[in-house]
Amino acid sequence: MKEGVEAALGRGVACLSLMENWRSSKTIVQTAEHVVSEGAFDRGHRAADRTYSPPVKVVSHSCAKKEAVWVADTISKLVQRDRTMRGCDVAVLGRTTAVLNEVRRELVQRGLAGEHSAGPGERETELTTELRNLLRVVANPRDDMALIGLLSAVKNVGPKTIQKCTTDVPEGQLMVALQSGTQQSNLTKTAANAVGTVLRLVERLVNLQPAGSDGSSDAIVAEFVRHKNSMDPDSIISAHMLQAALQSSVVGVSPVSRDQPDGGVELCTVHAAKGLEWRCVFIVGCEEGLFPHERTFKDHEQVEEERRLMFVGMTRACDLLHLSYAHSRFQAGNLLVPKGSRFLSELPAHCVERISLS
């Protein structure tokens, strides 16, 4: 492979293989190597000789809520105990953004979450904007700009669909035109179905709106949450999270503590963590069906890719690595009772400390 790369790059170019990991402790490297070596992929990395090399902790919990509380409490104690450890030295990673939501709420409550944490934070901003447009439409169906913003956030509704929906429609009459069906005749079946989904949601919420209300009732938010979760099972949100995000955006105040000039704990997916490093890393949701993801079970190569992804997540840690999983977790409105990830059972006993909190 090395010779092939050099030939492709051209004359005078040398390809060097960096086989020594200077980022992570010896224990972390050895543990991560076991995950990939169990499959068809073996990196063969050597760990740098470092004195500080505590065991990797594998922790089980009875439910996702308790997992999140444990992560937040552990980080809080770690930062208080080690004066050299700052919030920005810690990261919480997950296979998907959905498994990070509970943890993020706990960190926000303690003022530990990073202001620019990837994944759920960005998702909350999108949802807050979408909910605000929805509330405006429910309160005033003649608000064409809010309705256009609401439609634009829906999958399968692009600029061309918006243009077709709004052509020759008098100001303030877009909702009426869409409900009558006159504007949907020129749309593709997929786009028409997407627009129809929005119209049905608005109709349900109008019926929920109390007389004299400004459209911001808890019932409306709860119905919006149910709608979004049914449309996107892999990105579960809650009414509590959305209310907090909506309130913080209304008053213009970040939910993150301003007393941390050095930044807070980062939250992101393992994919987004590639190329980054932290002194301490927590990987949550290490369960069969989540990591490796259930969509990969029927394809051996995809499972191998999940192994490589786990390796990436584990080697983001320099000094401390925690792998955790829960015996019960809500996903897409359903209660799951998963087993710990197969990757956890493959870890070497001499490198790992297993803790059961379930």
pLDDT in tens, 173-223: 888 888 887 766 778 888 888 888 888 888 888 877 654 444 446 677 777
CA separation for the pair 250, 242 (Å, rounded): 12
**What local confidence, expressed as pLDDT, does residue 41 receive?**
46
What tokens appear for 111 in the block? 């003022």
Among 4-18, 130-144, 197-211, 256-270, the minimum mean pLDDT is found in 4-18
Query: Is pLDDT above 50 for 90?
Result: yes
* Phi, psi for 138 (deg, rounded to 5): -65, -40
Mind giving me the DSSP string for 18-47? --EE-SS-HHHHHHHHHHHHTTT-----EE
Q: Of 326, 324, 329, 358, which is closest to residue 344 (Cα–Cα)?
A: 324
Please state, in angstroms and rounded to a whole number, the distance separating the CA atoms of residues 4 and 193. Answer: 50
Residue 157 in this model has a pLDDT that exceeds 70: yes
pLDDT of res. 322: 98
Work out the angle at residue 103's Cα, subtended by the Cα atoms of residues 280 and 312, and round it to the nearest 5 degrees: 45
Round the average pLDDT of the chain to a whole number and report it: 79
Both structure tokens of 305: 């890719």
pLDDT at 214: 45
Residue 63 DSSP SS3: coil
**Cβ-Cβ contacts under 8 Å for 181 (sequence gap 6 or more):** none
Q: Is-contact 274 99, C-beta < 8 A?
A: no
Buried b (16+ CB within 10 A) or exposed e, 233-261: eebbbeeebbbbbbebbeeeeebbeeebe
Phi and psi, residue 12, nearest 5°: 85, 5
pLDDT of 38-57, one tens digit each?
A: 654 445 555 555 566 899 99
The answer to whether the Cα torsion of 179, 183, 185, 190 is positive or negative is negative
Mean pLDDT value across residues 222-240: 63
Q: State the pLDDT at residue 204.
A: 84
- Structure confidence at residue 169 (pLDDT): 85
Which residue, among 61, 59, 64, has the nearest Cα to 329 in the 3D structure? 64
Give pLDDT, residue 125: 56
pLDDT for the residue numbered 119: 44
The secondary structure element, H or E, covering residue 146 is helix 144-152
Percent of the chain with pLDDT over 70: 72
Q: How far is 27 from 142, CA to CA, in rounded Å?
A: 62
What pTM was computed for the model? 0.59
Contact between 209 and 215 (Cβ < 8 Å): yes
- Amino acid 290: pLDDT: 92
Confidence of residue 316 (pLDDT cuts 50, 70, 90): very high
For residues 109 and 351, the model is more confident at 351
Distance CA 311, CA 213 (A): 52
